Chains A and B, each alone.
Chain A
Amino acid sequence: MATAASPLGTVPPVLPATDVVIQTVDLWKIYQMGTEQVAALRGVSIEIKRNEYVAIMGPSGSGKSTLMNLIGCLDSPTKGQYWLNHQQVSELDDDALAHIRNHEIGFVFQTFNLLARATALHNVELPLIYAGVESAQRSARALEALKKVDLVDRKDHRPNELSGGQRQRVAIARALINNPSILLADEPTGNLDSTTSNEIMGLMDRLWSQGNTVVLVTHEPDIAEYAHRVIFIRDGQVARDEPTARGRKARV
């Protein structure tokens, strides 16, 4: 097993700069498959600054889902460090990670992952329940979040009474409700037609322009083009890390 050097070189484990939201240092994830050890990530070191719009790309099996799970604090790395918003989260236990997920991360999934039996409003409220926010304040804030995605008139509808695009907007409202440090979207348009996809990506763009940090995981190049920077993952390592056409334009 070859130890791969990061394209950025070996980053010393120092406290990240203030405008850095995500910093991973030589991140490894090794799965035990029977007697064999399979490394899904082999030393990934990346840095994402506040209010960046980053796409993570890679073919299936490249390790991008594993990376997303680590960034989203759904999983812990086997080796290496992960600093989220100046906090070393790679050493936290289950409940502390749950707290981080609740406060720092807004998930948007390919399959929306809404609770089927709950109304749109209740789905959006859900993170606030686990944050311990009072009932009255919860509805008010959830309504506010639904307003941001233009779905106030659908607040009492259940997911099966909503279109795909509307469901994803509910999921985005849910992701935003706790003012997270990052918005983590995993193939957000994977289950949507192209018109709706454009609509959702337009919404993501708007959220970015309002100051949110957006991390997009996708395998579709045209969706990645919405971002300003693309990180290519291949065989568990960062293959390329470069600005997109849009990012180059923005920089100029």
Chain B
Amino acid sequence: MATSLGENLTLAYDTVRSHKLRSALTILGVFVGTVTLMAIGSILTGMNKTVVDQLESFGTNTVFVYKFAPGIHIGRLTREERLRKPLSDADIAAVRSECGACTAISAQVMAAGNFGPPGANSANARSKSHEVDGLTFSGTEPNFPEATNQAVAEGRYFTEAENDHRENVIVVGHSVSDALFPTQDPIGQTFTISGTTFRLIGVFALRKSAGASTQDLSARIPYHTFEKLFPASQEHSIEALARPGMLTIAQDQIRVALRRSRRDKWNAPDSFGMATAESIIGQFHDITGQVALVIVAIASIGMLIGGVGVMNIMLVSVTERTREIGIRKAIGARRADITQQFLAEAVFLTGIGGILGIIGGWLISELIKFAIPSLPSSVPLWAVGMGFGISVAIGVFFGLFPAMKAAKLDPVDALRYE
């Protein structure tokens, strides 16, 4: 090849510099496409990180059992699902007696409709001078911290005796104690939830996960106390910690126990749901993966439109520079030289659009991180690679036709062109 890439890029840079406005307008489509890709990519990454952190903080060896499949639901419940009975005490007892692979099993009970996405139907707590909203309020058994991989940092969790005696004792997440008792030692203090006064006996350790964790906003009271205070509560769940390396066996044992105690027919699906942190994360990844695919498709349409703009302006450029092409051919430029020159120009244009888009997308990602601390958005490498890659590919694809048109010009005609 006679002309080097450096030579062509210098030429391209000169051309872009001498047509600043035109170039800026031309790369707008590619720029916006790349920004979209980057921004959505970083939001998805942030959401992923939040969800994965929160789920993993529950413990990767814990099995969650609920009457519906835990995790993300799309669409309406089926008739069978709507008619499902809540997990009963008999179900819990069956799991307890048959899951040999489990080390700790805790039943949990919540007010109706209170088991769901964070913040939905959540409780409100007041101390003398402070108040906090959005609590995850439930009744649990004494081994709940063990079963769900949580530690009590201050004070203690409640005992079997306190559970049996239905005492009004409570253990809360870090955010709750901070909000209610910012200046005092929280242990031994009292406050009310839904008109009932509780004595605070322990505070969970602060979660390491990014953003606000639902566990930092939790309020746990003894299982039987909850049943006494809210007799209508039917939202039961079971958290079971499997022995190390026996997560699958534990799941099988729980499934067998529950199918028998809930009298599921041999050919009917489970009338309950079971999940692990891993399975929910997998589910979430599937969804974000599909969202990402849709976003890439939409961004690509933007890029494609940008590409047509690039082709248009390159055709104008070729016409405007017919004489230049003639001169270059007269002094010895071959077809390949001319093709490369104009192709480099198109790729340079879209490449700049891509790089600016990457910078713009990164700025948006930082802005989101700053504005919404619970969404630790960060630009994923695939979005950077894809943004730049698609930009360059658009330049090649839409630059090729004008470049070949330029290369095919007849030198005599081109020199005569006014």
Residues of A within 8 A of B (CB): 69, 72, 74-75, 94-95, 98-99, 101-103, 107, 109, 113-115, 117, 126-127, 129-132, 174, 178
Contact = CB atoms under 8 A, between A and B. Distances in A.
The secondary structure that dominates the B interface is: helix
A103 B85 CA distance: 91
B216 to A, nearest CB: 63
Nearest to B323: A113
B196 interface: no
Interface in B396-418: 410-412, 415
Given A74-B412, A130-B337, A101 B332 contact: yes
B3 interface: yes
Given A74-B415, A75-B412, A131 B332 contact: yes
A126 B333 CA distance: 9
B327 A127 contact: no
B194 interface: no
27 contacts: A72-B330, A74-B412, A75-B411, A75-B412, A94-B334, A95-B334, A98-B333, A98-B335, A99-B334, A101-B330, A101-B331, A101-B332, A103-B332, A107-B330, A107-B331, A113-B323, A113-B330, A113-B415, A115-B327, A126-B328, A129-B2, A129-B3, A130-B2, A130-B333, A130-B334, A174-B331, A178-B332
B6 to A, nearest CB: 8
Q: Nearest 9 A-B pairs (CB), nearest first?
A: A102-B332, A130-B332, A98-B334, A95-B334, A127-B331, A132-B2, A74-B411, A113-B327, A130-B2
Interface in B319-369: 323-324, 326-337
A130 B331 contact: yes
A119 to B, nearest CB: 11
B133 interface: no
Contacts of B334: 94-95, 98-99, 130
A109 B2 contact: no
Given A129-B3, A132-B2, A102 B331 contact: yes
How many of chain B's residues touch chain A, expressed as a range? Answer: 20 to 34
B14 interface: yes
Interface in B1-25: 1-3, 7, 14, 18
Nearest to B8: A129
Contacts of A69: 412
Contacts of A114: 327
B332 A99 contact: yes
A81 B124 CA distance: 100
Contacts of B336: 95
Contacts of B332: 98-99, 101-103, 127, 130-131, 178
Nearest to A95: B334
A107 B329 CA distance: 11
A131 B331 CA distance: 10
A107 B336 CA distance: 21
Contacts of A95: 334-336
A110 to B, nearest CB: 11
A117 B328 contact: no
Contacts of A117: 14, 18
Contacts of B327: 113-115
Contacts of A72: 330
A94 B335 contact: yes
Nearest to B337: A130
Given A72-B330, A129-B7, 9 more contacts: A75-B411, A98-B332, A98-B335, A99-B332, A101-B329, A113-B326, A113-B330, A126-B328, A126-B331
Q: Interface centre among A103, A115, A129, A178, by most B CB within 10 Å?
A: A129
A94 B336 CA distance: 11
Contacts of A178: 332
Contacts of A103: 332
Contacts of B415: 74, 109, 113
Nearest to B333: A130
A101 B412 CA distance: 13
A83 B328 CA distance: 24
Given A69-B412, A74-B330, A131 B335 contact: no
B334 to A, nearest CB: 4
A50 B411 CA distance: 26
